[in-house]
Amino acid sequence: MNKYTVFGNPIAQSKSPSIHQMFAEQAGLTIEYDRTLATKENFIASLTHFFLAGDAKGCNVTSPFKEQVAKWVDDLSAAAKIAGSVNTVIKKEDGTFLGDTTDGPGLVQDLGRLGVQIKNARILLLGAGGAARGVLQSILALEPEFLMIANRTEEKAQQLASLLPSENFIGIGFKQLDEVKPAFDLIINSTSASLTGELPAIPDSIMSSSACVYDMSYGDKPTVFLQHAKTLGVVDTFDGLGMLVGQAAESFYLWTGYRPNVVPVIDSLRSSL
């Protein structure tokens, strides 16, 4: 039986095993998919040990090991190189390891499912950490008219924006948003603020003028960010559960060549939150 696992710390909460079992069922495959708790010190040893088993075909890697694993793999996909992080390891036929990142495809796939257009859209991306970096390439590939990265710490937004190929993509601090004419089609929250129930300190006028707001976080009820957006009259508000399933679907495809139908899996997870 082909074996997979997800490495992280913490990891007990990970939904990846149940998501991948649902995908396997759709594909008519029998797989083993576990959770592996690692520490910074033993992560590489644990990863190496996992792949010693001949039937280990791949793994997912989540926080805080996504950068560490990018240095371990033999090869990186173009997207993983730009993101500087890996969430999917694929063991190739020749025994070498390819690192890829599926967060970006997961996000744009979910936006597509929700009918949210990126091409020619004016997008505000909140946050400039690993989550933002991981999805930039996929967003840009769909050719938005304008992408602004706004972050609590201004320098990090500027640094991230400086990696981008055009002056239509800029990085600023939250404070400078006061001076920005609010005209965004889509605001994406990639900050970790929702995890602690906090709101990124951006002007209400920016939020209320946007047609659509997407939070990469999710929970059993709308995140504070989405609740706030609703209060301000934003019509379309979406959480990141679909992105979670979308990134997993992309990993599953890389491992097995089978593209799962994400819809029943999102529905099933939603009802068990």
Query: Residues in the site for ligand ATR, rule: CB under 6 A?
Result: 127-131, 151-153, 156, 191-193, 198, 200
In sequence order, what are the residues at sequence separation of 6 or more whose Cβ sits closer than 8 angstroms to the Cβ of residue 207? Answer: 187, 213, 228, 229, 232, 234
In the complex, the smallest distance separating the C-beta of residue 82 from ligand ATR, rounded to whole angstroms, is 15
Cβ proximity to ligand ATR, 200 vs 240, nearer residue: 200
Q: Which is nearer to ligand ATR, 27 or 180 (CB)?
A: 180
> Running DSSP on this structure, what letter comes out for residue 234?
-
For 80-142, the three-class secondary structure string (H helix, E strand, C coil) is: HHHHCCCCEEEECCCCCEEEECCHHHHHHHHHHHCCCCCCCCEEEEECCCHHHHHHHHHHHHC
DSSP-H helix ranges across 130-196: 130-141, 154-161
Select 102 or 151, whichever has its Cβ closest to ligand ATR.
151
Shortest Cβ distance from residue 174 to ligand ATR (Å)?
A: 7
Tokens, residue 93: 């036929």
DSSP H or E segment with residue 183: none
Which are the catalytic amino acids?
66
Least distance to ligand ATR, CB of residue 177, Å: 12
Q: Which residue number is nearest to ligand ATR in terms of Cβ?
A: 129
The three-state secondary structure class of 5 is: strand
The CB-of-155 to ligand ATR minimum distance in angstroms stands at 9
Q: Which is nearer to ligand ATR, 128 or 245 (CB)?
A: 128
Six-digit token string for 12? 């007990």
